Amino acid sequence: MFCQMTCWILVVVAILAVRGLHGLDNGLGLTPPMGWLTWERFRCNMDCDRDPDNCISEHLIKAMADIMAANGYRDAGYEYVIIDDCWLGPERDTNGRLVPDPNRFPSGIKNLSAYVHSKNLKFGIYQDFGTKTCGGFPGSEFYMQTDAETFADWGVDYLKFDGCNSNLYDFPSGYEAMGFFLNKTGRSIFYSCEWPFYKIVSGLQVDFAKVRKTCNLWRNYYDVQDSWSSVLDIVNFWGSNSKIFTKYAGPGGWNDPDMIILGNFGLSYEEERVQMAMWAILAAPLIMSNDLRHIRSSSKALLLNRNLIAINQDKLGIQGILLQKQNGIQIWSRDLSFNRTAVAFLNENSDGMPRFLSFSLVDLKLTSSTYNFTEAFDMKTNILVTRQRPLKIKVNPHGINLYIAKEMHL
């Protein structure tokens, strides 16, 4: 089997070399993608008898598409509705094509995709590079061209391509092969890869330059869980690697710290502010995984906050970096268009006391003499900061202050 897979990959590599296609070149992902995905909130729930409203099914996908179209999410930029794992039936059909579970998707994926499109939204789906998906359903190994053609026929706009049950050493050629076959269909399909994550956690080196040429989006770390510790762990991992990750992020290709979990069970309001603000600083995909039918108004307001979305979607596409971390206080900075800088102050401490902080322009790596700092959540509070007048702020525990700094000429 290993030889068969390796030989097949070598054939694909030869095709790519002859045709000179090294990368997607699909014109997608000029800003980080925004949308909704099933996984973190609904996992692999297939029990539609006991839990018909929350199982992975066409009913769930249609319900979320309806809400995204009607309740402001689509208009704010959330455009993709994505099914993660566990949508498949146990076997391919006699022609080798993927088959959705007939009980949970009785109308078929093509009709479901058409329904999502009728809401002026885009449709995404999950598959796996290996013999089986992470949930144990048929994977794409030996079937990449067939699956790419199937997805195009179904009207798929976004593919999340996982890496379970596969050979890590085949990832570069294999992920490039799927990108080639997606392009070959003639349909524009956003390509989200799990490639770096599996290599990093296995202690292997990642060729990020090749990842960027191949994928629109790539995961680098473990799945987000519904907890503050998980969100903070991801932020800290990004902080430790921000200079590496930032080098390869930009229009057309983005690092992916995983889903937005606002509106679920595990985060306080302050912690939800942290995730939304940090994902804006990180130029991360804003892919929600929550139940939009039952979401707190405060969570919805954060998700629809146009100021945070504008930072996230800034056309320069420069990912933010960690400037410093000391005594549980992190300072992050992201260059924005129009000579602006987004600056975030994250208090990861759990001692219950807000921290009163003071920072000079030198601390913040800002080189001019005078700046106006506008609080980014509401864009109402302004603070003048000069070489002689530091920025003085209060940051709540497990909280964040986010500002847009603009040079002033007085």
Hey, what are 289's tokens?
A: 């995984």
What Cα–Cα distance (Å) separates residue 125 from each residue in 62, 85, 220, 363? Answer: 14, 8, 20, 44
What Cα–Cα distance (Å) separates residue 308 from each residue in 51, 288, 322, 371, 381? Answer: 35, 15, 18, 20, 15
Looking up tokens 């995204």 gives 68
Looking up tokens 């069970």 gives 265
* Cα–Cα distance, 136 to 362 (Å, whole number): 53
* Cα–Cα distance, 158 to 36 (Å, whole number): 12
CB 291 within 8 Å of CB 252:
no
What is the tally of helices (H) and strands (E) in the chain? 13, 16
* Cα–Cα distance, 405 to 292 (Å, whole number): 33
Q: Is 162 a catalytic residue?
A: yes
Of these residues, 128, 162, 256, 258, which one is catalytic? Answer: 162
* Cα–Cα distance, 347 to 70 (Å, whole number): 36
Of these residues, 25, 51, 53, 223, which one is catalytic? Answer: 223
What Cα–Cα distance (Å) separates residue 254 from each residue in 93, 178, 208, 218, 313? Answer: 35, 18, 11, 7, 12
Pairing of strands 340-347, 329-336: antiparallel
The stretches of 143-221 forming alpha helices (DSSP H) are 144-154, 171-184, 195-201, 208-214
DSSP code per residue over 288-357: E-S-TTS--HHHHHHHT-HHHHHHHT-TT-PPPEEEEEETTEEEEEEEETTTEEEEEEEE---SS-PEEE
What Cα–Cα distance (Å) separates residue 19 from each residue in 6, 22, 190, 261? Answer: 20, 9, 21, 41
Q: Is 223 a catalytic residue?
A: yes
Hey, what are 100's tokens?
A: 């959705």
Catalytic residues, by residue number, are 162, 223
